[in-house]
Amino acid sequence: MKIGFIGLGNMGAPMAANLVAAGHEVTGFDVAGVTVEGVAQAGSAAEAASGCDAVITMLPNGQILRDVYAQIVPAGQAGAVFIDCSTVDVDSAREAAITAEDAGLLPVDAPVSGGVGGAAAGTLTFMVGGSDKAFAKAQPLFEIMGQKAVHCGPPGNGQAAKICNNMILGITMIGTCEAFALADKLGLDRQAMFDVVSTSSGYSWSMNAYCPAPGVGPQSPADNDYKPGFAAALMLKDLRLSQQAAESAGAITQMGGRATEIYERFVEMDEEGRDFSAILPWLSDPAKV
């Protein structure tokens, strides 16, 4: 395919590189002037999208997505699939999809899970909203950039799946960190705590795969001074999106709301830009809670 790729940041750059390695012709554009080996550089987003079979965007927020779509949709080739891999609010995703559909394009919102490591390794999971036809056309590209793509329904449902998943993640990480902090106060060894919980009803991804306690369980950012695998600021972004969606839909998400408040306080006080699991050492200082 001839592919336009707009947004060559920490996630977009390795995703574009994997498409090049698979033999696709990729033209990229990034407002910061980032270049990727093998990716031709366009002078604008519209130029990158022009005449392409597929256009992929990886952008910071919904407003930028809407602004970029205003530029690239008129340049799109009829029948092209427009794949937005950004994590944005559901309303922006659906608005972008309508804009593209009205122009004869095939839009999908396809936010990802797997982080920078997954982008580089081509092991991302895509949560996809869009028509069956659009999903089918995008599927071969998902297979290059990731290991799994789940069709979640019509436009916007990919974003809905992403924010629901990450709301669970934010809540369970806080619960996991609070449990370790309580175990410390009660004199329970962290390894013993892990050995019990990881094989009992407290089992979770936050405990078993991404344990926030250094030296316990598999390797995680906790074992690297909490340098971010998934920055707390990004978790806060997703939690805020979940609460925005909950308010719009009239859903009750009390735990999600409380998790958002806790991460807001943590991010405000954390000057190092640490991983979202660094909630654990933060809880050990009562003055900060």
Q: Are residues 209 and 144 part of one domain?
A: no
Domain boundary at 97, 129, 154, which?
154
Q: Are residues 119 and 259 part of one domain?
A: no
Q: Are residues 238 and 96 part of one domain?
A: no
- The predicted pLDDT at position 115 comes to 86
Structural domain includes residue 289: no
- The predicted pLDDT at position 220 comes to 95
**Per-residue pLDDT at 286 exceeds 90:** no
Q: Are residues 130 and 27 part of one domain?
A: yes
Q: Are residues 44 and 123 part of one domain?
A: yes
pLDDT 10s digits, 105-152: 999 999 999 888 899 999 999 999 999 999 999 999 999 999 999 999
Q: Are residues 137 and 74 part of one domain?
A: yes
Domain boundary at 105, 126, 154, which?
154
Q: Are residues 26 and 142 part of one domain?
A: yes
pLDDT 10s digits, 30-84: 999 999 999 999 999 999 999 999 999 999 999 999 999 999 999 999 999 999 9
Structural domain includes residue 114: yes
- The predicted pLDDT at position 248 comes to 93
- Is residue 162 among the annotated active site residues? yes
Q: Are residues 166 and 149 part of one domain?
A: no
- The predicted pLDDT at position 234 comes to 93
pTM (predicted TM-score): 0.91
Q: Are residues 111 and 223 part of one domain?
A: no
- The predicted pLDDT at position 169 comes to 97
Q: Are residues 6 and 143 part of one domain?
A: yes
Q: Are residues 174 and 94 part of one domain?
A: no
Structural domain includes residue 273: yes
pLDDT 10s digits, 175-228: 999 999 999 999 999 999 999 999 999 999 999 999 999 999 999 999 999 999
Q: What is the CATH number of the domain that holds 270?
A: 1.10.1040.10
Q: Look at the chain and report how many structural domains it folds into.
A: 2
Domain boundary at 134, 154, 174, which?
154
pLDDT 10s digits, 219-275: 999 999 999 989 999 999 999 999 999 999 999 999 999 999 999 999 999 989 999
- The predicted pLDDT at position 284 comes to 83
Q: Are residues 115 and 173 part of one domain?
A: no
Q: How far is CA 218 from CA 96, 116, 211, 221, in A?
A: 40, 19, 7, 10
Structural domain includes residue 192: yes
- The predicted pLDDT at position 288 comes to 66
Structural domain includes residue 66: yes
Query: What domain range includes position 175?
Result: 160-284
Q: What is the CATH number of the domain that holds 25?
A: 3.40.50.720
Work out the pLDDT band at 289, boundaries 50, 70, 90: low
Name the active-site residue from 137, 162, 185, 227: 162
